[in-house]
Structure 1
Amino acid sequence: MRVHFIAIAGSAMHNLAIALHKKGYQVTGSDDVIFEPAKSRLDKYGILPAELGWDENRITEDIDVIILGMHARIDNPELLKAQELGLKIYSYPEYIYEQSKDKLRVVIGGSHGKTTITSMILHVLNFYNREFDYLVGAQLAGFETMVKVTHEAPVMIIEGDEYLASPIDRRPKFHLYKANVAVISGIAWDHINVFPTYADYINQFDLFINTIEPDGTLIYCKADQDLNEIVEHSTAAVQKIGYAIPEHEIKNGITYLLPEHTALMVFGDHNLMNLNAAKLVCAQLNITDTEFNEAISSFKGAAKRLEVISADDLTNVYKDFAHSPSKLKATIEAVKSQFTDRKLVACIELHTFSSLNKDFLQEYAGSMDMADEAIVFIDLKSFEQKRMEPFTEDDVQKAFSNPDLKFFNDASKLKAYLLSINYKNANLLMMSSGNYAGFDLPELATELKR
C-alpha cells in the first residue's frame, strides 16, 4: 500500500504517517514548513520529505491513497494533480475510519475535556495490557505516538475534534468516525471562523449524535443544560447514559474518590467529570469500576492539562492548554478549589482566531473571577499574523468584566511583572494553547522561587 500525505507535518498528520509506516505501508509526504517535533520524528522513521514545498511530480498513478491535511490549500499543485489523475483522496479523519471500520470505535467529542477523557481511557486500557488502536490530541507518557493503527486491535479510541476535516471536506472531523460508543463532554462555542453563531456550532453535536451507529451508546455530561436538551430531543436509536461529578473529598491538596477513598493525581470538578466519562466508556469495554479505580489512581494527566512545572510546600506552578472561556473558568476554579488557602495568580494568553475577535471576546466575561490576580497576555504578532485589530487594556478589562485585570502585549514586561510577585503561599497558573512568545516556563518557575 503506497500512501502520500499532502501537508504531512501537522500534529495528527505526521503521527498517522508514522503509524502507517510502522504498519508496513510505503509512506511519502510533503509540506512547505515542518517544525519540531514533527521534523525529528519523521526523520527518525525515514519519511521526512527531502525538500520543503509542493511538487506535482511527486504525484504518480501508482499512489494508492492521498491523505490531505488541513494546512494545504484547495489550489495546492499536488492536490490538483491527484484530482486530475483520479486518485483516492481522504482527509485524515476519513482515513482513520477506513483503518477502523471493522473495529469497535469509541469517539470522544465535546468542546472541552476530549484529550483528558481519551487519555484516561488509554491509560486504563494500557494498565491492563489490552490491545487497542487510538488517536489522541496530545503526547502521552508511555505512548510513543499520538496515533496507532494495527491489523489486530479489536477497538479504536478516537479523540473527535469538531473542526473541519480538510480544505475540500467541510464536515467536522467527528462526524466521519461513525462511533459505536460516543462521548459528548459539554458544549461551549468555539471556532467562530467556521461556526459564526452558537446555533451553527451547537447543531454540529446534534448531527454527531445521528452519526452514532444504530444501537450504539451515547455517554454525555448531564451538567450541561444545552447538551441535555439536545440529547432529550434526539431521536437517534442509541442508548443514552448521563454522568456528573462523582462523590469525592479533598484533603491536604489531594482529591479522593468515594466511597473507596481512591487517591487521585488529578483534581478539579472538570477532571472529575472527565473521569466519570472515562469510567463509563471503560465499562462498555468490560472493565469494572474496581479495576478502573485501581488503574486511574496512577494517571498523572495529559500533557499541558494542569501539568505541574514545579511544586513545593509553598508554591505550585502549572501550565494548562486552556484558551476558550469555559476551559479557562474550569481550570481556574480547579486550582483555587484544590488550594483554598493559597493565593492564585492566573495568566491566559489569547492567540486563537476566536479569542482575538472583538465580538467573541465578550464571551470571556467573568471567566477569571476566581483568580486572586488575573493577567491577560496577547503577543502583538498574533494580531499581525491574523490581520486583526489589536485590543487595548480597556478592551480586555471590559470584556472580562474585571477592572483589576492586568494586560500585557510585551513578553519581557509580562515576565518582569510575574517575577515581581511574592509567591509565598501562592500558586501560578499559566494557560495557553500557544507558547507565550517563546517563554521558557520551567526557567520562569525556577526564577520566581529565588
Structure 2
Amino acid sequence: MKPQTIHFISIGGSVMHNLAIALHQQGHHITGSDDDIYEPSRTRLEKYGLLPAQTGWNADAIHGGLDAVILGMHARADNPELLKAQELNLPVYSYPEFVFRQSQNKQRVVIAGSHGKTTITAMVLHVLQYHHRHFDYLVGAQIEGFDTMVKLTTNAPVIVIEGDEYGTSPTDPRPKFLHYHPHMVLISGIAWDHVNLYPTYDQYVHQFELLADAMSKSGTIVFDDTDDMLDVIALKEREDVTRQPYDVHPYRIENGKTVLVTKNHGHVPVLVFGEHNMKNISGALAICDHLAITEDMFYAAIQSFKGAHKRLEKVKDDGSTLVFRDFAHAPSKVEATTAAVKAQFPDRRLVAAVELHTFSSLLNKTCLNQYRDKLDKADVPVVFYSPHTLEVKHLDPIDAADIATAFDRPDLQVFTDSAELETFLKNQNNGQPTVFLLMSSGTFGGLNLNLS
C-alpha cells in the first residue's frame, strides 16, 4: 500500500493513539491534535514522535494534501478541524469506519457484549499469538505481549475486533460495532449500559439485535446461552446464519487455584478466576474453534493467559494482603467481579470499593438503583464518587444517603475525598488476611492502588 498522510482529530484517545501508532509503524505519515492528552497516551505518542507540539485544535493542520482524516468520539461536531476537513471535502472516517475499510478482504471476527468482551478478545489474541498465527486486531485494553491495542496489515487473513456499543463519533451516534460487518460475532451478554445514549433498556438491547441482523450470509453468531435476552436475539431466524451457544466452562477451585475440568485433557490450570471468566473461556474456545485452533492447542495456550489490563489485575500480594483492580463499574460487572473474588478467597475478608464515575452510574437515581445488592458479597462495601465529576458532566448532585439506599447496604462506606478513602482502606489492613478489590474505569481521584 502506498504511504498515506493521515490526520487524527482527538489523537489522545485510547484506541485512537494506538491506531495512529499502528499506521505510523506501517510507514504512513501521521499528524494529530487534541485538547488534552493524558497518560499513557502522552508518553506513547511521544515515543513515536507523534505527540502534538501543542494542545488544542488548529484548522491550519487540515489541508488538501491529506489522504484521510480520522475523527475521534472526544471531538465535537463543531470542531474547527472537522469543519475545515468538510469544507475541503476530505475523506473523514471514524476509527471503526477506517478499520473496516482496511479489513474488507479479511475474515472479520467481532467480540461484543455488555461485559467480558475485552477479556474474551484478549483470550483469543493470546491463543492465536501463542500458536504463531498471522492476524490483525483491535482490542480495548493493553495486553501483555502486545505492543499496541491495534494492528492493521495488508496481508493478515483475519482480524479480531472488540466491538464497542458506544457511539461512533460526534457526527454518528450509531454503535461502533455496526460498522464492522462481521463474518462471525460473539455476544457475551446484555446488561443495560450507556444510559446517556440509550435511555431505555429496549433501545440498548436493540443495538445488539441490529448487530446480529447485520451478519453476513454463512456467518456465525456465538452467544451466552445463560442470557435470556440473547436467546431471543440469537434464535431469531436469519438466512444461512449459524447459531452457537456457550455456557460456563466446568471448573474447580483447588487450594486457591482455578482449574478447568475437561473431558479429554484432565484438569487444566489457569491464571484467571471467577465464574464470569469461566464463561469467557468458553466463548473464546468457541471462537478459536472456528479459526482452526483445536482443543489441544487452546488448552495449551490458555494456561499462560494472565488477563487484560485492569481486568482483575493483581496489584499487590504480600502474603496476607491481596489487592486487585478491575475496570468494573456497571452494576452487572460489579456484582460478577465481587462474587468471583469472594469465591476464590472465601477465607479472606473482602473489602470491595467501587467508583461511580460514568454517565451510566451517576446520571440519576434510577441508574443508581441498578446497584441494589451488587456488593452483597463484600464484607466491607465502599463507594467513592467525586462531586467535581458530577459538575463536569453537568449532572444533578447526589448525596451519601441516596447511594446507601440504592446499594441497600446500611453499612456502606461512602467517600468523596480520595485521601480519606485511602486512609480508610489502609486502616482495614489490620493484620488479618484481607483482599482489596478496587473497581473503577477511573482512578479513585488518584488513589495509591497498592495501598502502600
Match of 1:105 in 2: 108
In the TM superposition, residue 312 of structure 1 has moved relative to its aligned partner by 4.2
8 Å CA contact retained: 1:210, 1:236: no
Distance 2:435 2:127 in 1: 30
Q: Which amino acid aligns with 1:41?
A: R
8 Å CA contact retained: 2:120, 2:280: yes
SS at match of 2:19: helix
Distance 2:126 2:50 in 1: 29
Pair 423,285 (structure 1): closer, same or farther in 2 beyond 3 Å? farther
Query: Which of 328, 332, 339 does residue 333 from structure 1 map onto?
Result: 339
Q: Which amino acid aligns with 1:429?
A: L
In the TM superposition, residue 234 of structure 1 has moved relative to its aligned partner by 4.5
Distance 1:162 1:407 in 2: 30
Runs of at least 4 residues off by over 3 Å: none
Distance 2:331 2:20 in 1: 33
Query: Which of 337, 361, 376 does residue 355 from structure 1 map onto?
Result: 361
In the TM superposition, residue 229 of structure 1 has moved relative to its aligned partner by 1.4
In the TM superposition, residue 387 of structure 1 has moved relative to its aligned partner by 2.1
Query: Which of 309, 327, 332 does residue 303 from structure 1 map onto?
Result: 309
Match of 1:140 in 2: 143
SS at match of 2:53: coil
8 Å CA contact retained: 2:312, 2:324: yes
Match of 1:47 in 2: 50
SS at match of 2:352: strand
8 Å CA contact retained: 2:218, 2:241: yes
In the TM superposition, residue 423 of structure 1 has moved relative to its aligned partner by 5.0
In the TM superposition, 1:223-302 aligns within 5 A as: 223-235=226-238, 237-259=240-262, 260-302=266-308
Distance 2:141 2:171 in 1: 25
Match of 1:195 in 2: 198
**If the length of structure 1 is used for normalisation, what is the TM-score?**
0.97
8 Å CA contact retained: 1:306, 1:318: yes
Match of 1:67 in 2: 70
Work out the number of aligned pairs and report it: 444
8 Å CA contact retained: 2:212, 2:233: no
| Identical columns (%) | 51
Distance 1:221 1:308 in 2: 27
Match of 1:367 in 2: 374
In the TM superposition, 1:139-158 aligns within 5 A as: 139-158=142-161
In the TM superposition, residue 236 of structure 1 has moved relative to its aligned partner by 5.1
Distance 2:427 2:367 in 1: 32
- Cα-to-partner distance string for 1:184-235 (whole Å, 9 max, x where unaligned): 0000001111000000000000000012211111110011111111212353
SS at match of 2:226: coil
8 Å CA contact retained: 2:139, 2:150: yes
8 Å CA contact retained: 1:67, 1:91: yes
In the TM superposition, residue 370 of structure 1 has moved relative to its aligned partner by 1.1
Deviates more, 1:339-348 or 1:307-316: 307-316
Deviates more, 1:329-338 or 1:37-46: 37-46
Distance 1:123 1:281 in 2: 13
Q: Which amino acid aligns with 2:443?
A: N
In the TM superposition, residue 247 of structure 1 has moved relative to its aligned partner by 1.2
In the TM superposition, 1:107-186 aligns within 5 A as: 107-186=110-189
Q: CA RMSD in A?
A: 1.1
Query: Which of 409, 417, 435 does residue 416 from structure 2 map onto?
Result: 409
Q: Which amino acid aligns with 1:420?
A: N
Pair 427,153 (structure 1): closer, same or farther in 2 beyond 3 Å? same
Runs (5+) with no aligned partner, structure 1: none
Matched, 1:429 2:437: yes
- Cα-to-partner distance string for 1:117-175 (whole Å, 9 max, x where unaligned): 01101110110111111101111111111111111211111000000111111110001
Q: Which amino acid aligns with 2:133?
A: R
8 Å CA contact retained: 2:422, 2:448: no
Match of 2:449 in 1: 441
In the TM superposition, residue 360 of structure 1 has moved relative to its aligned partner by 0.7
Matched, 1:346 2:352: yes
8 Å CA contact retained: 2:419, 2:447: no
Runs (5+) with no aligned partner, structure 2: none
Q: Which amino acid aligns with 1:439?
A: L
Distance 1:253 1:236 in 2: 46
Match of 2:425 in 1: 418
In the TM superposition, 1:371-386 aligns within 5 A as: 371-386=378-393
Distance 1:143 1:114 in 2: 17
**If the length of structure 2 is used for normalisation, what is the TM-score?**
0.96
